[in-house]
Each structure stands twice: as structure tokens, then as C-alpha cells.
């Protein structure tokens, strides 16, 4: 694959017109595609912007988006920015102060140290921007150069969805609740919003607040699959519930394909996932590794009619620790667009077979993968358990 063809794949427009010219859904790729849209949404906002993300970096991409946020605030748009205190810990105080001085309302989610709080596991992991209750971007893409890419490096493989439909109003309400700390433990079923011929839902996952909508939607879609499941998974270590659902699907003869990281920003997790390859292959799953850049995407298509894109990783940390948000789309047209994109990715991947594993099967590699798996599973248990202890303590009080 040459560089030119890759950039084309990441910057193309995939458009689904579901209701004339006013309501539509678009698949968005990491790279220039995402950041041009993000800047346009901010620049065109008239009343209110909510931007919430796990990582906001002080680099060329971060400064460009910060500039647009400051300009919006200066033209009297209410700009609310919520950043995760751990994910954006490297952001300089001067950067944050500059945003505030230009009128941006900035808050950090869950500082690591406070009088009554020390836990890392429950992080605000979603990546969202929504403006004027009508236009939104939601997906897995943070604000940093590595998601944008450069002339010398590919953008990390990731996805988002742009919404111009009533779901954007729902999303802005949720973002406002997070910013102003109006969250409720009451479990309210997710609403499916009409977008012409499509139905669009905003799914939350926050186990401590009894919201398991993303996990439930994934599990149900897998269990109800009739033909095919395709998943792009960064940090792919499904817990027992998800693993059982995938196993049942494979036993029923459902064609199940996973696109995983050949290159990862967390090598320990990538090796832990590789430890499970034999298990996946023994259950007739197809495994493909993307080696052109880091895989950071979290997306799936089931039966070419149900799709999801967002921040949710298929592992225990996303299920039980972090605060996650996905969009689900019930639409054959959108599913076909996303599935076709996955096929393009697969064509540029390396397939992993039992023969591949035999070639990698040195005693050092096998031990390294096993050791990585044990380390990662232990760490995830620790990180997901800590917030529960604090929750139970507050509950007793």
C-alpha cells in the first residue's frame, strides 16, 4: 500500500442522506477528515459548544482546535470543555489558563488527588463535540497529532460519526449533565431517534451509575447475529460475558471477524491479546492485524444492519471502570458503508492463521504473551475494582 492511497481512504467522505437535506449520518475517519469537520463545527457554532475528550494535547493539532474554541468564545458562543484529568494530565497549566482567559469554560474530570478521591480506573473516556443541539461528532478520536497524521506518519486507525439529527440534541443534554455534574444513578433506557430511514441511539456505559448500555448493546447484537460480525478492536481483551457471546456466535456458524492491532501504543496489551489468538482461531474467528499505524478504533457491524462507533473498548476496563459513550445506528445503508470500509482495511491487513502462530511460536514469545496477559488482566481488575470500593464506601455513609 502506498502512502497516497492510505491518505485517500482516511479523507474520503462517506455520506448517508436519510431525510432530504436536513437529517443525515456520516461516517468519519481519523486524519484530516475528522479534524476539518471538528473545526468547521466549532467555527460555525452560533450559541453553544460542548467538547469532551479524554486526551487533548499541546501540539499542532491541539493548538489549532484550541484556537477555534477561543475564537468561538470571543464571538459570545458559550464554549464548555471537559477533559479527563488523567488522559490530559500532560496539558500545561498555561494552555488551560489561556483557554479560560479567552472565555472558554474548562473543567477537568476527576482530578487524581483530592481530599476524598484517589482512583484511576473510572475515567471519562468518551470523545464528543456537539454544537447548537444540531450537529455532533462522536467516536474514538482524541485531539492530538497522532490522530491527525502527518506527511511522514499515518493517522491512527479510528472512526467517528457525524450526526445532524435529533440525536445531537440528546447528546448535548448528556454533555451538559456531565459538565455541570448533574449525573443520576437512575437507569433510563436509551432512546432511538428517527433520522429518516435510520434509527440512531446514544449509548452510555458507566457501571457505577448502573449504565451498561454499550456493553448490553454489543452483547445483544452478537447473540442475535444471524450472518456476520465484524469488529475493529483496539485493546481487545473481551471479558467473560463478551467472550461467551462471541463463542456462542461462532458455534452457531456466524462468520466472525476481528481487526486488531499489529502496532499498538500499549505493547503489553497487544501481546496480551496475541496470547488469545489460538483461542479465537479454535473457535473459527478470522483475525486480521493492521500494521500501517496504531489501531485505536472501536467499531462494529452486525448483519449489515446494526452498527456502533464510539469510545468503548471490548475489555473489562470499558465495561466496569471508564465512562464511555457510543452511537448505535440501525440502518442497512450506513452498515453497508461501514462494512465496506472495514473490507478496505482488511485488504491492507495481514491475516493471522495457525500457521502464522507457529512461525511466532518461540518459547520467549509465548512466555512474553502469557506474562503480558497475566499482567494486563491483573491491572484491569485493579483499576476497575478501585472505583467500586469508593462507591461502596459512599453508599455505606
pLDDT given at position 218: 96
How many Å apart are CA 369 and CA 277, to the nearest integer?
Answer: 10
pLDDT given at position 321: 83
User: Would you list the DSSP string of 226-291?
Assistant: SSEEEEEETT-B--HHHHHHHHHHHHTT-EEEEEEESS-SSHHHHHHHHHTHHHHHHTT-EEEEE-
pLDDT given at position 309: 98
pLDDT given at position 23: 52
Which of 53, 294, 320 is CA-nearest to residue 160? 53
How many Å apart are CA 371 and CA 268, to the nearest integer?
Answer: 9
| Grid cell 485493579 in the structure block, residue | 382
> Which domains, and CATH codes, for the chain?
3-354 (3.30.870.10)
How many Å apart are CA 130 and CA 112, to the nearest integer?
Answer: 27
Quick one: cell of 168?
445531537
pLDDT given at position 52: 98
pLDDT given at position 19: 36
| Grid cell 473498548 in the structure block, residue | 313
Main-chain phi, psi angles of 200, to 5 degrees? -125, 130
pLDDT given at position 145: 96
How many Å apart are CA 283 and CA 250, to the nearest integer?
Answer: 6
pLDDT given at position 395: 38
pLDDT given at position 387: 56
In a structure prediction context, what are the per-residue pLDDT tens digits for the chain, which is 397 residues long? 333 333 344 444 344 443 333 358 999 999 999 999 999 999 999 999 999 999 999 999 999 999 999 999 999 999 999 999 989 999 999 999 999 999 999 999 986 654 455 456 678 999 999 999 999 999 999 999 999 998 888 999 999 999 999 999 999 999 999 999 886 545 567 789 888 789 999 999 988 788 999 999 999 999 999 999 999 999 999 988 999 999 999 999 999 999 999 999 999 999 999 999 999 999 999 999 999 999 999 999 999 999 999 999 999 889 888 999 999 999 999 999 999 999 999 999 999 999 999 999 899 989 999 999 899 888 887 776 665 555 444 433 3
Strands 135-139 and 127-131: antiparallel
Strand pairing partners for 157? 295
| Angle of helix 32-44 versus helix 3-11 axis, rounded to 10 | 30
Amino acid at each position: 500500500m502506498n502512502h497516497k492511497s492510505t491518505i485517500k481512504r482516511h479523507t474520503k467522505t462517506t455520506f448517508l442522506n436519510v431525510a432530504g437535506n436536513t437529517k443525515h449520518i456520516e461516517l468519519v475517519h481519523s486524519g484530516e477528515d475528522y479534524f476539518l469537520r471538528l473545526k468547521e463545527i466549532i467555527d460555525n457554532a452560533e450559541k453553544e459548544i460542548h467538547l469532551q475528550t479524554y486526551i487533548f494535547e499541546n501540539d499542532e493539532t491541539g493548538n489549532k482546535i484550541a484556537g477555534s474554541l477561543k475564537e468561538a468564545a470571543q464571538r459570545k458562543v458559550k464554549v464548555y470543555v471537559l477533559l479527563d484529568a488523567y488522559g490530559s494530565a500532560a496539558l500545561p497549566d498555561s494552555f488551560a489558563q489561556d483557554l479560560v482567559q479567552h472565555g472558554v469554560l474548562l473543567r477537568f474530570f476527576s482530578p487524581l488527588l483530592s481530599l476524598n478521591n484517589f482512583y484511576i480506573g473510572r475515567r471519562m473516556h468518551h470523545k464528543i463535540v456537539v454544537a447548537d443541539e444540531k450537529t455532533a461528532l462522536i467516536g474514538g478520536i482524541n485531539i492530538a497529532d497522532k490522530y491527525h497524521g502527518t506527511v511522514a506518519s499515518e493517522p491512527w486507525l479510528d472512526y467517528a460519526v457525524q450526526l445532524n439529527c435529533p440525536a445531537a440534541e440528546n447528546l448535548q443534554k448528556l454533555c451538559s449533565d456531565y459538565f455541570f455534574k448533574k449525573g443520576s444513578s437512575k437507569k433510563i433506557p436509551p432512546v432511538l431517534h428517527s433520522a429518516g430511514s435510520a434509527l440512531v441511539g446514544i449509548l452510555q456505559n458507566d457501571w457505577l451509575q448502573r449504565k451498561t448500555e454499550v456493553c448490553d448493546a454489543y452483547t445483544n447484537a452478537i447473540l442475535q447475529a444471524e450472518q456476520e460480525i465484524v469488529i475493529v478492536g483496539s485493546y481487545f481483551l473481551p471479558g467473560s460475558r463478551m467472550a461467551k457471546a462471541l463463542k456462542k456466535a461462532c458455534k452457531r456458524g456466524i462468520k466472525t471477524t476481528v481487526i486488531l492491532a499489529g502496532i499498538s501504543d500499549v505493547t503489553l496489551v497487544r501481546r496480551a491479546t496475541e496470547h488469545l489468538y489460538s483461542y479465537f482461531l479454535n473457535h473459527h474467528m478470522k483475525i486480521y492485524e493492521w500494521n500501517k499505524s496504531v489501531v485505536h478504533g472501536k467499531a462494529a457491524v452486525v448483519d449489515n444492519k446494526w452498527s456502533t462507533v464510539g469510545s468503548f473498548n471490548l475489555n473489562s476496563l470499558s465495561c466496569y471502570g471508564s465512562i464511555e459513550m457510543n452511537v448505535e445506528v440501525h440502518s442497512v445503508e450506513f452498515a453497508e458503508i461501514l462494512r465496506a470500509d472495514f473490507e478496505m482495511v482488511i485488504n491492507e491487513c495481514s491475516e493471522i492463521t495457525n500457521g502464522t502462530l507457529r512461525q511466532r511460536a518461540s518459547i520467549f514469545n509465548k512466555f512474553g504473551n502469557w506474562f503480558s496477559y497475566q499482567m494486563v488482566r491483573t491491572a484491569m481488575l485493579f483499576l476497575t475494582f478501585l472505583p467500586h470500593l469508593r462507591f461502596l464506601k459512599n453508599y455505606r455513609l
